[in-house]
Structure 1
Amino acid sequence: MFRGLIPFSNGSRDVENFFEKMFEDHFGFPTLSTGMKVDIKENEKEYILEAEIPGANKEQIHIDYQNNYLTISVENINEVKEERENYIRRERKVGKSSRSFYIENIQHDNIFAKYENGILKVVLPKDENHRKRKRIEIQ
C-alpha cells in the first residue's frame, strides 16, 4: 500500500497549473508547467522516484533528507542574455525549483541517486525492521 511518499508542492503552483491547463497562448501552443515532473514506483524492497530535470548538470541538483522529508532542489544558473531578441516564446528559465516528499520507514543511510539524460533516479530502500507489525496486548 502506497503511504510512504506524499508529495508537497507550493499551493500557488497548483492554482497556476490549473490555469495553465485551461488556457493556451495566442500562438496555439499549450503553456508548459515549469514544475518538476516526478514518477514514484514501489516494490517490496524500495521506493523508486524518477524526476525530469532536463538541462541541468548534477552539480546543480541537491537532494536532502531531513525529518522524514526528501527534498530535491535544482538551481539552474545558466547565463541568459537579456538582449532584445525576436522571441515569440521563451520558456527556458533561470532560477530555483524544488519538490519535497514525506517518506517514512526507509533506510536513510542507503538512499542512492543517479542523474542521467535529464532524469534523476532516487532509490529509497524500505526499512524492513520498522515495517514489522506488533500486536499489543491490552491488560
Structure 2
Amino acid sequence: MFGLIPFSRKNSGVSRKDDFFGLDRFFNDFFRDPFFSRFSPFASPIRADVKENDREYIVEAEMPGVRKEDITIEISDDVLTLGVDTKNEVNEESEGYIYRERSSGSFKRSFHIQNIKHDEVKASYKDGILTIVLPKDEKAKGAKRISID
C-alpha cells in the first residue's frame, strides 16, 4: 500500500462574498507560487507521480536543475524519503560585478509505503526526473539506503 496525503485548501475555486477586494485569492495564489513553497510547511518543491501495477510501485519525482550527487533516497519504517541538499555558488574573480548569485537549500518529501522488497528497489535520474521502482512483497523489512544509477 502506498500512502500519499496532499495538502490543499478546500473549495479553492469557490469565491466568497466577504472577500475584501480579492485579497484571500491574492494571498492564496501568492503562497502557491513555486518560489514561496519553501516558506509553506505544507508544500514541497518535489512534485511526484506515483504509479502502481501488479508487480511494483513507480515514483517519478521532478527535480529540475538538481545534481544526482545532491539527492538522497532512504527507506525506513515503511517511509520512503526523497531528499535534496544543494549549495551552488558562482565565484567570479572580476571586480565591479553588479549582480552575483548564491543558492543553497535542502528539502524532503516522504511517502508511506508497505510491503516492498527493500533489496530490489532501483532508482535512476535522467533529465530532471528521479524514477524509483519499488517491487512489491508480502512483508516489510528494515531500513536500506538506495544508490542512484
Spell out, residue by residue over 1:43-65, the C-alpha distance to the aligned partner (whole angstroms, 9 max, x if none).
01000000001111111000001
Please state whether the residue corresponding to 2:119 is helix, strand or coil: helix
Counterpart position of 1:119: 129
* 2:4 counterpart residue number: 7
The alignment's C-alpha RMSD in Å is 3.4
Task: Report if aligned partners of 2:87, 2:103 keep a CA contact under 8 Å in 1.
Answer: no
Give the gaps of 5 or more residues in structure 1: 131-139
Paired residue type of 1:58: K
**How many Å separate the matches in 2 of 1:76 and 1:52?**
15
User: How far apart are residue 31 of structure 1 and its match?
Assistant: 2.4
Identity %: 38
Structure 2 counterparts to residues 1-139 of structure 1, below 5 A: 4-7=1-4, 22-24=28-30, 31-32=33-34, 33=37, 35-79=45-89, 85=99, 93-127=103-137, 129-130=138-139
Q: Give 4+ residue runs of structure 1 displaced > 3 Å after superposition.
A: 18-21, 83-86
Counterparts in 2 of 1:101 and 1:21: CA distance versus 1, 3 Å: farther
**Could you tell me whether the CA contact under 8 Å between 1:8 and 1:99 is conserved in 2?**
no
Answer whether contact 1:48 1:121 (CA < 8 A) is retained.
yes
Amino acid at match of 1:115: Y
Partner of 1:137: none
**1:50–1:122 Cα contact (<8 Å) kept:** yes
1:123 & 1:59 partners in 2: Cα distance?
19
Structure 1 length-normalised TM: 0.66
**1:5 to partner: Cα distance:** 1.7
| Residues matched between the structures, number | 112
Structure 2, unaligned runs of 5 or more = 13-24, 39-44, 92-96, 140-149
TM-score by length of 2: 0.62
